[in-house]
């Protein structure tokens, strides 16, 4: 009777189900998806099916649940959301049928993640299944736990796993091993629980169980020093197991291409490597084994090499005897010659790691490594290149550099940059002589073209500038290589260096000492080509224009041609080129007698400043810093601080002159001065300064030179600088001065660029800007006034000498801020600084500038009112800050700037704490 | 540790994706795309290793792949795995698939992605190598399949009956639809006039 009822019920249920449409089979769904021709069509099919699946889920249809989840997993793989299936997976897992469980667990592994709340539910089902009788059910549960175990699950289920580790069934033991691995990784303190089981597992005969046991033990040893010491005693056992493996010979089930279970061997070697790291005793126990593996492994197949590769790692990590190390490096050397590119690749990566341990052993394979530079595989070439740079020494410099240069010339753009950059570093570090260094840099720039790091330009210039012996040769070589360039625009760094050198040392080029005589006309032709070439960057053109101007004093006969070339830029669209051209035009026309001294050669750029940089090179942003450093360095060290000895010397000289001492002044005054007395003082000043230079030549940084070089020096840095690039000529002409400067006011420049009122611009504001040492209003004054000004200036200088180093506190694309400590006002607990705010682009109209600063509680801050709120046409805002630092903590400021840039409101906030250690102290 | 195992075809269509670390679904898809992009542009004659894409963790991870006919098998692993060892593992995986499917081809992977997952779960578990003995894997998979078939034979009987009836039902309704009926509204309209 009961039987009949059950049958009746089953039939009823079946009939109920018949009333619903049958769900699509997985295979039909896949067919439909594959038949979809467009992504939209596919999406539509999937969406429709997802809706159906949701319906079956809602109807609690247990018969089709398995099929629905399987379909959902396929949909999930295609990248569609499938999270709504999570609970269904759990229901499937709870089902008594194996088929359901299998899909359910698969779904759980793919759809669930550690963060789901469903974990509490799954922990319960897992616990049930881990205690089940059927091995495959337990297997499924173990596999799932090993994949998704969270911290809580690990804690809850660890006892079950520990029990299973001791199971008699190998299928379960191996899975439990990896579960334990996952648990240890998640909750290291549960490690203790597995220790006893591990001890027996490590002596296991079954390979798979042994693999998982070794994995587990490796993890434990890396996590805990206690366990590490515990298993260290097991080294002999492991060595024995490994030996049996090697000697076991052919065993069909573990054989991979004729090698007995390579995976196990690799795992064992790795564990040995972990256990024997830096331990002589352990190393000794392994030496024999490692030597045996290293010599006896068949290397005709990948598997053999995999084992050898791991052996090499083990030898390198464990403190093996030197003979073994050489053997290991030789194995890698053999790898390099292997026809399999994968093996060549791993050999190169391993050699890279080994090279620090054993230079000499790796050096022996240098030629093979160099061969790899020519490999057709780009990954291998790249690794080989990296290794080559590590292999460069003083003795092999020449050959390595040659090979790498060849490689550089042929390599792909993305590799070129790295290679060129590394070669530059190598050249810097190992250069036997400045001449060698220069030629190396030249060849690098020839090979790398535009892919060269930009700071190489400045470091090359520094190199040439600093070593007088190189200059004649350098300028000739640079000219020769630039002349022969097919496309100037692809080698702009080279062209820039060439321009600079010809500008500075052009006279050396036109002597007859070189193989071929170079005429100024050739050079000027070339420069003209550079200037008008459409693809040449602005920076290169600036270099070129500046070089032309400088050249005018090197080759006096060609001044007219140069003037013509430069004059063409007087109406250039680019404001900077235009300004340079106009300035030069005025210099030639109105101050021609000054042109010589102004365009004087730069003093040698001391190398230490740049070298300091080069030790940290490799950073892309260095180029900016370099330029800034050069500029700020000039100001800080030469104008403000360190050289006050020199400036004092000049002060003395000037101080000795009073307006009555006309005789001295007149003696020095050149005849046809356009400006009468006005320029004579300037002349005096420069000639007097020059005489100071003579006495201070060894320091190479006298104020006089600074003054004269400012125009020249400008060219070499200004594009990178954050200093506002404005001209005294622009701010100069005022109503009163226009009479005295008829030639200037007639210039077209000034009809387009309206000069702002100059009155507020004090000479103090110019001290940061090379080339604008005197505002042009200076020239409008009569002689006694000029002397007065010079005195004031000298006073300022003496104040300046009380300043310490300035720091750049803020810089973005429109504004810069410099802090200068005011030593005279500072005490130990009080740091007084002057804040100077300037605009980067003179065309920007910056108004309503408010500078605010905040300090941590340990400091106190007071701000004086600013000198103004507007920045335009090169004016500066100055403001005094006093920081009271009772507890002498490091200074830290938060800066807030609000300003109106060309009509749009800006607000910037930045922390600044990079004060130099000697900031604010004398 | 193996972070992910991806199988996709020459056009980048995913055929299997298994992640052993928690990564959100969207990122998973992007990783598949990125990996395909990285791997597919490489010649067959270059080495099988490359640095992982930015999504999966960059240079700390290696992509180790093999290309078989229409399919790429890509394993993303961290530095604790031996590169050459993983190459062998890919080979073992593919050979096992071949054994289980008898001359495996892309279509097998497409229509039996669940089975591929089961096989993979016997080979790799939680990102670590579990078993490398192909015969063992094959035997275990076979045993489990048998278990499923048994269940299908006994307890699945009602379900099969249901689907049989349903098919019948479907056929009948189809036949009913096939019978041409007069257009009813039209007929009503005809009556009115």
Residues A474, A572: one domain?
yes
A812 touches chain B (CB under 8 A): no
| pLDDT exceeds 80 at position A844 | no
CB–CB contact B130 A208 (8 Å): yes
User: Beta-strand (E) ranges in A840-915?
Assistant: 846-854, 860-863, 877-884, 893-901, 904-912
> What local confidence, expressed as pLDDT, does residue B120 receive?
94
CB–CB contact A342 B121 (8 Å): no
Residues A453, A583: one domain?
yes
Domains contained in chain A, number: 3
Give the span between the Cα atoms of A231 and A225, in whole angstroms.
10
CATH number at residue A475: 1.25.10
Mean pLDDT lowest for which of A17-21, A211-215, A291-295, B145-149? A17-21
A823 touches chain B (CB under 8 A): no
Distance from CA of B109 to the nearest CA of A (A): 11
- Report yes or no on A615 lying in a domain: yes
Structure confidence by residue, pLDDT tens digits, A610-656: 444 443 333 333 344 444 343 333 333 333 333 333 333 333 333 33
CB A303 within 8 A of CB A343: no
A103 touches chain B (CB under 8 A): yes
User: Beta-strand (E) ranges in A713-802?
Assistant: none
Give the span between the Cα atoms of A481 and A499, in whole angstroms.
12
A303 touches chain B (CB under 8 A): yes
Residues A822, A762: one domain?
no
| pLDDT exceeds 60 at position A499 | yes
Give the span between the Cα atoms of A654 and A687, in whole angstroms.
12
* CB atoms inside a 10 Å sphere around CB A95: 16
Say which DSSP state A513 is in.
Answer: T
Structure confidence by residue, pLDDT tens digits, B41-65: 888 878 888 887 777 777 778 899 9
Residues A822, A867: one domain?
yes
Residues A702, A796: one domain?
yes
Best probe of the B interface among A16, A345, A376, A414, by most B CBs < 10 A, is A345
| pLDDT exceeds 50 at position A334 | yes
The ipTM (two decimal places) reads 0.81
CB A891 within 8 A of CB A915: yes
Buried b / exposed e along B105-136 (16+ C-beta atoms within 10 A): ebebbbbbbbbbbbbbbbbbbbbbbbbbbbeb
Best probe of the A interface among B89, B92, B126, B155, by most A CBs < 10 A, is B126
Structure confidence by residue, pLDDT tens digits, A516-545: 778 888 888 888 888 888 888 888 888 888
- Report yes or no on A866 lying in a domain: yes
Residues A776, A820: one domain?
no
Q: What is the DSSP string of A71-97?
A: HHHHHHHTT---GGGHHHHHHHHHSS-
Q: At what angle do helices A207-223 and A170-186 cross, to 10 degrees?
A: 10
- Report yes or no on A271 lying in a domain: no
Closest CA to A26 of A18, A34, A14: A34
> What local confidence, expressed as pLDDT, does residue A712 receive?
42
CB A111 within 8 A of CB A74: no
Residues A872, A736: one domain?
no
Residues A796, A811: one domain?
no
β-partners of residue B49 are B64
Confidence band, pLDDT 50/70/90 cuts, at residue A212: very high
Mean pLDDT lowest for which of A203-212, A235-244, A600-609? A600-609
Give the span between the Cα atoms of A94 and A108, in whole angstroms.
12
* Domain boundaries, position A658: 607-800
Q: Which residues of B touch A136 (CB under 8 A)?
A: 140, 143-144, 147
Q: Which residues of A touch B45 (CB under 8 A)?
A: 341, 376-377
Residues A767, A817: one domain?
no
- Looking at A800, A832, A848, which one is the last position of a domain? A800
Structure confidence by residue, pLDDT tens digits, A348-383: 888 888 887 778 888 888 888 888 888 888 888 888
CB A324 within 8 A of CB A284: no
CB–CB contact A342 B47 (8 Å): yes
CB–CB contact B135 A253 (8 Å): yes
Say which DSSP state A591 is in.
Answer: -
> What local confidence, expressed as pLDDT, does residue A642 receive?
38
Residues A669, A571: one domain?
no
- Mean pLDDT (chain A) is 74
CB–CB contact A22 B166 (8 Å): yes
Q: Which residues of B touch A172 (CB under 8 A)?
A: none
Closest alpha carbon within chain B to A61: B159
CB–CB contact A79 B25 (8 Å): yes
Closest CA to A471 of A602, A318, A651, A289: A602
Q: Which residues of A touch B108 (CB under 8 A)?
A: none
β-partners of residue A879 are A835
Reading the block at residue A598, the tokens are 């102004």
- Report yes or no on A345 lying in a domain: no
Residues A766, A714: one domain?
yes
CB pairs under 8 A between A and B: 178
> What local confidence, expressed as pLDDT, does residue A179 receive?
93
Residue bearing tokens 């046991």: A213
Structure confidence by residue, pLDDT tens digits, B105-139: 899 999 999 999 999 999 999 999 998 888 889 99
CB A108 within 8 A of CB A90: yes
Q: Which residues of B touch A253 (CB under 8 A)?
A: 133, 135-136
- Report yes or no on A437 lying in a domain: yes
> What local confidence, expressed as pLDDT, does residue A255 receive?
64
CB A488 within 8 A of CB A529: yes
Distance from CA of A851 to the nearest CA of B (A): 40
Q: Which residues of A touch B136 (CB under 8 A)?
A: 208, 253
CB B2 within 8 A of CB B76: yes
| pLDDT exceeds 70 at position A736 | no
- Looking at A766, A800, A834, which one is the last position of a domain? A800
- Report yes or no on A332 lying in a domain: no
Give the span between the Cα atoms of A834 and A821, in whole angstroms.
6
Reading the block at residue A386, the tokens are 């990296």
| pLDDT exceeds 50 at position A244 | yes
Buried b / exposed e along A18-27 (16+ C-beta atoms within 10 A): beeebbbebe
Q: Tell me the residues of chain A between 175 and 234 that have a Cβ less than 8 Å away from chain B.
A: 175, 178-179, 181-182, 207-208, 211-212, 215
| pLDDT exceeds 60 at position A237 | yes
CATH number at residue A875: 2.60.40.1230
Reading the block at residue A40, the tokens are 């939209």
- Looking at A760, A780, A800, which one is the last position of a domain? A800
Nearest-by-Cβ selection for A305 from B84, B130, B135? B84
Give the span between the Cα atoms of A523 and A565, in whole angstroms.
13
> What local confidence, expressed as pLDDT, does residue A635 receive?
36
CB–CB contact A215 B50 (8 Å): no
Residues A505, A631: one domain?
no
Structure confidence by residue, pLDDT tens digits, B133-177: 888 899 999 999 998 888 877 655 666 566 666 556 555 555 555
Query: A877-884 and A860-863 as β-strands: parallel, antiparallel, unpaired?
Result: antiparallel
CA A777 from chain center: how many Å?
45
Give the span between the Cα atoms of A848 and A850, in whole angstroms.
6
Domains of chain B: 2-131 (3.30.450.60)
Distance from CA of A163 to the nearest CA of B (A): 19
């Amino acid at each position: 009777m009961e039987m009949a009822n059950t049958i009746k019920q089953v039939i009823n249920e079946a009939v109920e189900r018949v009333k619903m449409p049958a769900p699509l089979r997985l295979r039909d769904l896949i067919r439909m998806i594959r038949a979809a021709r467009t992504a939209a069509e596919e999406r539509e099919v999937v969406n429709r099916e997802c809706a159906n699946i949701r319906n079956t889920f809602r109807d609690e249809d247990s018969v089709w649940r398995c099929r629905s989840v399987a379909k959902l997993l396929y949909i999930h793989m295609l990248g569609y959301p499938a999270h709504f299936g999570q609970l269904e997976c759990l229901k499937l897992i709870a089902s008594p049928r194996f088929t359901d469980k299998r899909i359910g667990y698969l779904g759980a592994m793919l759809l669930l993640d550690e963060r789901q709340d469903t974990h509490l539910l799954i922990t319960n089902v897992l616990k049930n299944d881990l205690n089940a009788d059927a091995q495959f059910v337990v297997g499924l549960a173990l596999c799932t736990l090993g994949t998704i175990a969270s911290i809580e699950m690990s804690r809850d289920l660890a006892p079950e796993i520990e029990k299973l580790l001791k199971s008699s069934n190998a299928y379960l033991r191996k899975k439990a091993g990896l579960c334990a691995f996952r648990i240890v990784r998640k909750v290291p303190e549960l490690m203790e629980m597995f220790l006893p089981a591990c001890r027996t597992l490590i002596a296991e005969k079954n390979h798979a169980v042994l693999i998982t046991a070794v994995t587990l033990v490796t993890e434990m040893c890396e996590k805990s020093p206690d366990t590490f010491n515990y298993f260290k005693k097991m080294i002999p056992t492991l060595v024995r197991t490994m030996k049996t493996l090697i000697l076991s010979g052919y065993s069909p089930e573990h054989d991979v291409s004729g090698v007995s279970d390579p995976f196990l061997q690799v795992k064992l070697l790795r564990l040995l490597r972990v256990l024997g790291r830096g331990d002589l005793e352990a190393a000794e126990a392994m030496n024999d084994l490692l030597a045996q593996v290293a010599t006896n492994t068949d290397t005709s197949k990948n598997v053999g090499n995999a084992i050898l590769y791991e052996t090499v790692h083990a030898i390198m990590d464990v403190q093996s005897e030197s003979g073994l190390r050489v053997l290991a490096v030789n194995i890698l050397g053999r790898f390099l010659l292997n026809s399999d590119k994968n093996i060549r690749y791993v050999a190169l990566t391993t050699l890279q790691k080994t090279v620090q341990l054993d230079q000499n052993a790796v050096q022996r394979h240098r030629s093979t490594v160099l061969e790899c530079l020519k490999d057709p595989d780009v990954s291998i070439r790249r690794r080989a290149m990296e290794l080559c740079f590590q292999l460069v020494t003083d003795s092999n410099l020449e050959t390595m550099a040659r090979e790498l240069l060849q490689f550089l010339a042929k390599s792909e753009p993305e590799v070129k940059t790295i290679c060129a950059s590394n070669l530059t570093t190598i050249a810097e570090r190992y250069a036997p002589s400045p001449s060698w260094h220069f030629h190396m840099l030249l060849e690098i720039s020839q090979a790398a073209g535009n892919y060269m790091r930009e700071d190489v330009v400045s470091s090359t210039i520094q190199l040439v500038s600093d070593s007088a012996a190189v200059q004649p040769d350098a300028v000739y070589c640079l000219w020769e290589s630039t002349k022969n360039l097919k496309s100037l625009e692809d080698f702009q760094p080279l062209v820039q260096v060439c321009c600079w050198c010809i500008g500075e040392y052009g006279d050396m080029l036109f002597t007859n000492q070189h193989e071929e005589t170079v005429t100024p006309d050739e050079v000027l032709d070339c420069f003209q080509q550079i200037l008008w070439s459409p693809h040449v960057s602005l920076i290169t053109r600036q270099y070129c224009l500046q070089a032309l101007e400088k050249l005018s004093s090197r080759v006096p006969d060609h001044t007219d041609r140069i003037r013509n070339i430069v004059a063409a830029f007087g109406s250039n669209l680019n404001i900077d080129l235009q300004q340079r051209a106009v300035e030069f035009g005025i210099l030639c026309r109105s101050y021609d007698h000054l042109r010589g001294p102004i365009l004087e050669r730069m003093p040698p750029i001391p190398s230490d400043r740049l070298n300091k940089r080069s030790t940290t090179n490799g950073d892309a942003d260095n180029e900016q810093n370099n330029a800034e450093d050069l500029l700020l360095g000039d100001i800080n060290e030469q104008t403000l601080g360190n050289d006050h000895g020199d400036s004092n010397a000049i002060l003395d000289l000037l101080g000795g002159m009073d307006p009555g001492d006309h005789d001295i002044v007149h003696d020095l005054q050149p005849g046809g001065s356009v400006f009468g007395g006005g320029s004579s003082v300037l002349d005096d000043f420069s000639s007097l300064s020059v005489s100071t230079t003579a006495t201070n030549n060894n320091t190479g940084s006298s104020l006089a030179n600074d003054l004269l070089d400012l125009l020249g020096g400008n060219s070499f840095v200004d594009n990178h600088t954050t200093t506002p690039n404005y001209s005294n000529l622009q701010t100069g002409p005022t109503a009163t001065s226009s009479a005295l400067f008829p030639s200037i006011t007639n210039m077209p420049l000034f009809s387009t660029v309206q000069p702002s009122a100059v009155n507020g611009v004090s000479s103090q504001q110019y001290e940061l800007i090379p080339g604008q040492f005197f505002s042009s209003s200076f020239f409008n004054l009569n002689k006694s006034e000029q002397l007065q000004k010079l005195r004031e200036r000298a006073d300022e200088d003496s104040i300046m000498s009380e300043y310490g180093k300035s720091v750049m506190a803020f810089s973005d694309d429109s504004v810069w801020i410099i802090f200068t400590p005011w030593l005279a006002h500072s005490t130990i607990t009080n740091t007084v600084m002057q804040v100077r705010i300037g605009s980067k682009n003179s065309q920007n109209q910056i108004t309503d500038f408010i500078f605010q600063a905040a300090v941590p509680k340990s400091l106190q801050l007071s701000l004086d009112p600013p000198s103004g709120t507007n920045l335009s046409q090169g004016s500066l805002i100055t403001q005094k800050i006093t920081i009271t630092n009772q507890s002498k903590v490091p200074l830290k400021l938060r800066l807030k700037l609000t300003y109106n840039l060309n009509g749009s409101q800006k607000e910037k906030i930045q922390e600044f704490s990079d004060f130099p250690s000697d900031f604010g102290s004398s | 540790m193996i972070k992910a195992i991806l199988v996709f075809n020459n056009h980048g269509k995913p055929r299997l994706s298994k992640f052993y670390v928690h990564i959100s679904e969207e990122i998973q898809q992007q990783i598949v795309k990125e990996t395909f992009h990285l791997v597919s542009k490489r010649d067959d004659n270059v080495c099988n290793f490359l640095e992982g894409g930015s999504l999966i963790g960059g240079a700390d991870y290696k992509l180790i792949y093999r290309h078989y006919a229409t399919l790429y098998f890509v394993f993303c692993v961290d530095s604790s795995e031996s590169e050459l060892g993983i190459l062998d593992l890919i080979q073992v995986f593919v050979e096992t698939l071949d054994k289980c499917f008898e001359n495996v081809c892309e279509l097998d992977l497409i229509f039996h992605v669940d089975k591929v997952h089961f096989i993979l779960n016997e080979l790799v578990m939680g990102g670590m190598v579990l078993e490398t003995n192909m015969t063992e894997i094959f035997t275990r998979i076979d045993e489990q399949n048998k278990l499923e078939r048994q269940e299908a034979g006994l307890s699945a009987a009602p379900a099969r009956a249901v689907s049989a009836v349903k098919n019948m039902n479907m056929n009948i309704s189809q036949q009913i639809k096939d019978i041409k009926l007069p257009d009813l509204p039209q007929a009503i309209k005809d009556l009115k006039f």
